[in-house]
Chains A and B, each alone.
Chain A
């Protein structure tokens, strides 16, 4: 783990109409760190994640990615998004494309690498997530866990600097959660910088370097997961943990 700061967020604010969703968020994530965002639904964790790859535009504050302050006025956000991988709760695989076509789509059309090269890389990624035998299958034929692993491979195919996970296991049947978490754990061990919105406290405890508890758009408490979960300092954190553990 180096001390290079991968993501820095300062005084980030975001509102939807009258709803103030993110309030003065400050956060610094170093290279190869794994951070878990926890909190009740509506606490702003997903919005925070979406502000980091500009699927939502912040109202004010700073977002610094890989040392570069990103503003929509000065940056081609498409290029920024290509550097930040995102995995969604509902997978969002392209249903009209096979598994391997899903993975090679962006490398070919966004990064403009050759199809041959994209296929070689995609095959390696699919092997890594344990889906080599599903290359030519359409997503509709896959289980939820398999879909999410393809989605992870698809995001990795762009060779992102950071991976964002937005409740990656929330839409899965309980017996399929493990395979996705195992893939994510492997990724963390390889040194990928990851920010994960999750309700999987076991995963957070085991893999995360630190965890963030959010409540009503604010970061309430930050700490090492083991510490945060067993010894929360804030009452709100304790109440939340009592309700989910």
Chain B
């Protein structure tokens, strides 16, 4: 059986896997953005205790492998009856949140302090100046590295296969082991990932373009 017929024969299952990969990535990224923003604010809060909390979080995430984090979340959360999907999503979000926090922190700190001063000199509160002046500019600046992190998150979701979720990678290795032909199915799954990442990049680029109208 050649590669193409294998592709045709298996695409309904792979598409299901792709949908799960997509769902895992999108939902975990969505949550990770809020986690990231939260810890970015802790880091720039200038309150030592809060900064320390953010430092510890980032230290833990960066210092341990993602697969370990996913397993800990999986066994921890399913033991209190959380569905597999959400356990993995939270594991991925916990992981990506740390990297996104650093991206947001860098972007916020890269905005000239004069912007904050201008806002405050007009009578804006710190919160208002943040939300109306600093964040819109920072998010624009954060988009390229964020897009990159989204793509990393998408590919990292393949680790969910280790705990038996039928996302793309698990579909490929399952077919591979059943038919004693790993190579064909790994090549096929690579194509699915490429398509997904391509799709992601286009969306990120579209958002970047829309937001760049002022430059």
B117 interface contact, C-beta 8 A: yes
Residues of chain A contacted by B123 (CB below 8 angstroms): 78-79, 81-83, 106, 110-111, 158
Residues of chain B contacted by A90 (CB below 8 angstroms): 112, 114
**Hey, what's the 0/1 contact readout for A91-114 against B, CB within 8 Å counting as 1?**
011111110000001100111000
Min CB gap B147→A, angstroms? 19
Known contacts A55-B120, A154-B122; decide if A138 and B115 are in contact (CB<8 Å). no
Q: Taking CB as reference atom, which chain A residue is nearest B212?
A: A96
Residues of chain A contacted by B118 (CB below 8 angstroms): 86, 88, 92-94, 151
Q: Give complex CA distance A106, B120 in Å.
A: 10
A198 interface contact, C-beta 8 A: no
Instruction: Tell me if A96 and B214 are in contact (CB < 8 A).
Output: yes
Q: Which residues of chain A from 74 to 88 have any CB-CB distance to chain B below 8 Å in the complex?
A: 78-79, 81-86, 88
Residues of chain B contacted by A83 (CB below 8 angstroms): 123
Min CB gap A83→B, angstroms? 8
Min CB gap A50→B, angstroms? 8
Min CB gap B214→A, angstroms? 4
Known contacts A88-B114, A92-B114; decide if A55 and B121 are in contact (CB<8 Å). yes
Q: Give complex CA distance A140, B119 in Å.
A: 18
Residues of chain A contacted by B114 (CB below 8 angstroms): 88, 90, 92
Residues of chain A contacted by B122 (CB below 8 angstroms): 81-82, 105-106, 110, 154-155, 158
Instruction: Tell me if A106 and B124 are in contact (CB < 8 A).
Output: yes
A13 interface contact, C-beta 8 A: no
Min CB gap B58→A, angstroms? 28
Contact of A92 among B115, B128, B136 (CB under 8 A): B115
**Hey, what's the 0/1 contact readout for B34-52 against A, CB within 8 Å counting as 1?**
0000000000000000000
Instruction: Tell me if A85 and B125 are in contact (CB < 8 A).
Output: no
Known contacts A78-B124, A79-B123, A110-B122; decide if A105 and B132 are in contact (CB<8 Å). yes
Instruction: Tell me if A81 and B215 are in contact (CB < 8 A).
Output: no
Q: Give complex CA distance A155, B124 in Å.
A: 12
A53 interface contact, C-beta 8 A: yes
Contact of B121 among A53, A93, A98, A105 (CB under 8 A): A53
Residues of chain A contacted by B136 (CB below 8 angstroms): 96
Interface residues of B (CB under 8 A from A): 112, 114-115, 117-125, 128, 132-133, 136-137, 140, 213-215
Instruction: Name 7 interchain pairs, CB-CB below 8 A, sorted by A.
Output: A82-B122, A86-B121, A88-B117, A92-B114, A105-B122, A106-B119, A109-B132
Interface residues of A (CB under 8 A from B): 53, 55, 78-79, 81-86, 88, 90, 92-98, 105-106, 109-111, 138, 140, 151, 154-155, 158
14 new A-B pairs (CB below 8 Å) besides A92-B118, A95-B137, A138-B214?
Answer: A55-B120, A78-B120, A78-B123, A81-B121, A81-B122, A82-B122, A90-B112, A94-B115, A94-B133, A105-B122, A106-B123, A154-B122, A155-B121, A158-B123
